[in-house]
Amino acid sequence: MPTCFRFLFSDLLVLFLLLLTASLSSPQPFCHQDESLALMQFKDSFIINNDTFPSCYPKATSWRVEAEHGRSDCCSWDGVECDPHTGHVIGLDLSDSCLYGSINSNSSLFRLSHLRSLNLALNDFNYSKIPSTIGNLSWLTYLNLSHSYISEEVPSEVSHLSKLSSLDLSSNSNLIIGSLTRLVQNLTRLEEIVLSGVMISSIVPESLANSSSLKTLKLEGCGLYGEFPTRIFQLPQLRDLWIGTNEDLTGQLPEFHSSNVLQALSLSYTSFSGSIPNSLWNLTQLTILDLIGNSFDNSSCLTKASSNHTFPHLQYLGLSSLNLTKFPNFLRNQNKLVQLDLSENNIQGIIPKWMFNASKENLQDLYLSYNLLTGFENSRDVLPWPNLLRLDLENNRLQGSFPISQIPPSIQELYLSNNLLTGFKNSRDVLPWPNLQLLDLENNRLQGLFPISQIPPSIQDLVLSNNLLTGFENSRDVLPWPNLRMLDLENNRLQGSFPISQIPPSIEYLYLSNNFLTGFEDSRDVLPWPNLRMLDLENNSLQGSLPIPPPSVLIYQVSKNAFTGEISPLFCNLSSLYVLDLSYNNLSGKLHPCFCNLSQSLTTLELRSNNIGGTIPDAWAKGCSLSIIDLNHNQLQGRLPRSLANCKELVYLDVGYNKIHDTFPLWLGTLPELKIFILRSNGFYGAIRNIQINCTLSNLHIIDLSHNNFSGDLPAKCFQQWNTMKLFGAKEFQYMRDYNSGILY
């Protein structure tokens, strides 16, 4: 090589190295200020609500613009990713960021035209729709709007984001996809389609079977119907297939090749039929297999399969509701199972000893409910599942004393309801389950005094309903369960005064209905349970004044007792109250006007069969949530309050058997949901023909105007329009009215 060329080559090499060094050492460029401004405007269009989701963290609150220069490097902001060469914003992750508000079509978000990844999952967008301007983000490869309270139909512009490889719109129950075919027809690069919990109501297009890059397909609970394309099972890269909870989706399992890479196969609660192929065992990568509730004609092949067959990586197995009659033999060698569901089959007899060897170290949840099991095969030892957390033996044929010594100490939830158990075998001490949180013994043969000393202090939910218990054994003190959340003693033989002071302050749900209680020990004005949410005292013989619950209560049911006196105005402080049922008592006095203050939360007001007088309060505000008002059989007077027209959710209104004096309430025609309307046995008056000017109660099923002072004929025009009142059993449509008398029943 000539000398001049050697020098030229050396100079070029040095120049190249200098340029390379300069490029490597140069700092990453700042983000573009128009994009920084767009991000700030997007953030400012929302309220930061820390209650949006329990785990939310407000990332965007840390975003700052320097006041002095009016600029900031948004590339350093939490949740923002920039291109290292151009400084353009290419990624925005504000998932679970406590955002509340709507995304509008003119949102500054859609000015971020270089975005490749957008994750806004786990926020509350107030049921706004996805704007069509999302089509401006044509470089998107990843879009996640799951769990974000969006609604209406997905705009067609989403189907034109042709670079998308991952689309997740799941868990938005008000979102509608008109056609799955149209949505995915242009999205040929998709690797992940996650639409579970979105209303699709269409067939699964055969064209999806051509998506050779597809790795994840999740379409659970989408209202899908028709036959599922068999070729989708055989897509070369498909790892996760979840299509459960689509009851009208039919199909058959194909032959599976040994090259199949499926890791999760969930078909629960669909209508697949045909045979389970032998080649199912070729799915050696499976970690999840869920066949619950299908109609395979050879489900028994699972019980007959050799113990040599195995899914070596399987962690969850769902074989519920398949009409199995035996424990599947292949379970002997399933060593990695964490959850096993064999519930709702016809497996009978004892649980065989070989089952104890299945997944010894890993099994956490075992569901065997709704079978015909009678117990465990001769074993006096503890079941060899040291990590067992949940054991469900509900609705079987267990009888006598339950063998507590067999249940490992790790157990947290034990379900034994609907059996024939009389108690626990050989135990006077505390049950040896120090982590027990839930014990369900509903509908067994427990009787007498319940031995509270046997239940460990860790208990949170104790269900003892539908037995023959008369109370608690040897206790005058507070029950020794400091974390007790729910106590269910419905349908027992409790009698006399109930010991309020024994129930710990942690209680949230207390069920005492259908007993023989007459009162409360240590009676006090306000019940001493600050976290109480549900109190059910129905159908006892309780007397005296109403016990007043704390402000935390949601449901208060004390019907069918003998309570007397007035309804205390303290009830007006129950701002979270959802259901108030005081029916069938001997309450008197008047309804306080402050009851109207509860209308934003209260959905059910049941005061039937008391002696309440005076007028019905007339201050029901806009936004009233009431759907049921039952004031039947009282002594109410005056007019029907016009402000009830603000209760747009009202379905049931019964003011029968009172002393109300008023004309027909035409204004109720503005209530779109009203189905049952009872005015029977009052002092309503006036010409019935006046009803004809308003026949807008399109959902009306029952109207009862009998035993009042109306005059004239019933309005035929209205009955022709009230289609929900028609009977369809006869040759011609009929209406629920007496044509001869003109009286409506």
* Low-confidence winner among 69-73, 227-231, 526-530 (lowest mean pLDDT): 69-73
User: Nearest-CA neighbor of 447 among 428, 427, 473?
Assistant: 473
pLDDT given at position 526: 86
Q: Quick check: is 375 in a domain?
A: no
pLDDT band of residue 12 (cuts 50, 70, 90) is low
Question: d(Cα 165, Cα 189) in Å, to the nearest integer?
Answer: 5
pLDDT band of residue 745 (cuts 50, 70, 90) is very low
DSSP 256: P
Question: d(Cα 351, Cα 362) in Å, to the nearest integer?
Answer: 19
pLDDT given at position 64: 87
Q: Quick check: is 110 in a domain?
A: yes
- CA angle, residues 128, 129, 135, in degrees to nearest 5: 135
Q: Quick check: is 60 in a domain?
A: yes
DSSP 666: G
Question: d(Cα 68, Cα 373) in Å, to the nearest integer?
Answer: 76
Question: d(Cα 173, Cα 38) in Å, to the nearest integer?
Answer: 30
pLDDT given at position 690: 57
Residue 308 class from Cβ within 10 Å (0-12 exposed, 13-18 middle, 19+ buried)?
exposed
Average pLDDT score over residue span 472-492: 90
Measuring CA to CA, how many Å separate 744 from each of 597, 681, 682, 710? 35, 13, 15, 12
Structure tokens at 11: 């100079």
Q: Look at residue 304 and tell me whether its pLDDT is greater than 50.
A: yes
Q: Quick check: is 136 in a domain?
A: yes
* Low-confidence winner among 167-181, 225-239, 375-389, 578-592 (lowest mean pLDDT): 375-389
For the segment 673-725, what is each residue's pLDDT rounded down to a tens digit? 999 999 999 999 998 765 554 566 677 888 899 999 998 877 777 766 666 67
Question: d(Cα 737, Cα 673) in Å, to the nearest integer?
Answer: 21
Kindly report the CATH number assigned to the domain that includes residue 59.
3.80.10.10
The domain tally of the chain equals 1
Average pLDDT score over residue span 100-116: 96
pLDDT band of residue 292 (cuts 50, 70, 90) is very high
For the segment 552-577, what is each residue's pLDDT rounded down to a tens digit? 999 999 999 999 999 999 999 999 99
Phi and psi (nearest 5°) for 19? Answer: -65, -40
Q: Look at residue 57 and tell me whether its pLDDT is greater than 70.
A: yes
Q: Quick check: is 307 in a domain?
A: no
For the segment 314-342, what is each residue's pLDDT rounded down to a tens digit? 999 999 999 999 999 999 889 999 999 99
- Helices and strands per DSSP (H, E), number in the chain: 5, 53
For the segment 407-422, what is each residue's pLDDT rounded down to a tens digit? 999 999 999 999 999 9
DSSP 245: S
For the segment 181-195, what is each residue's pLDDT rounded down to a tens digit? 999 989 999 999 999
> In which domain, by residue range, is 52 found?
34-141
Contact 573, 552 (CB under 8 A): no
Question: d(Cα 460, Cα 483) in Å, to the nearest integer?
Answer: 5
Question: d(Cα 698, Cα 691) in Å, to the nearest integer?
Answer: 14
Strands 47-48 and 99-100: antiparallel
pLDDT given at position 726: 63
Structure tokens at 217: 């397909």
pLDDT given at position 67: 54
Written as one string, the DSSP assignment of 445-479 is --EEEE-GGGS-TT--EEE--SSEEEEESS--S--
User: Nearest-CA neighbor of 655 among 624, 631, 637, 686?
Assistant: 631
pLDDT given at position 276: 95
Q: Look at residue 23 and tell me whether its pLDDT is greater than 60.
A: no
Q: Identify the residue with better confidence: 477 or 52.
A: 52
pLDDT band of residue 738 (cuts 50, 70, 90) is very low
pLDDT band of residue 72 (cuts 50, 70, 90) is confident
For the segment 347-377, what is each residue's pLDDT rounded down to a tens digit? 999 999 888 878 888 999 999 999 999 988 8
Question: d(Cα 708, Cα 474) in Å, to the nearest integer?
Answer: 58
Q: Identify the residue with better confidence: 140 or 712.
A: 140
Q: Quick check: is 563 in a domain?
A: no
Q: Look at residue 733 and tell me whether its pLDDT is greater than 60.
A: no
Q: Look at residue 215 and tell me whether its pLDDT is greater than 70.
A: yes
Q: Quick check: is 81 in a domain?
A: yes
Q: Identify the residue with better confidence: 630 or 2.
A: 630
Per-chain mean pLDDT for the chain? 90
pLDDT band of residue 2 (cuts 50, 70, 90) is low
Question: d(Cα 244, Cα 232) in Å, to the nearest integer?
Answer: 15
Q: Quick check: is 48 in a domain?
A: yes
Average pLDDT score over residue span 46-50: 95
* Low-confidence winner among 227-231, 277-281, 723-727 (lowest mean pLDDT): 723-727
pLDDT given at position 570: 94
Average pLDDT score over residue span 730-736: 48
Contact 671, 647 (CB under 8 A): yes
Length of the chain measured in residues: 745
Residue for token pair 């006007």: 593
For the segment 497-538, what is each residue's pLDDT rounded down to a tens digit? 998 989 999 999 999 999 999 998 877 778 999 999 999 999
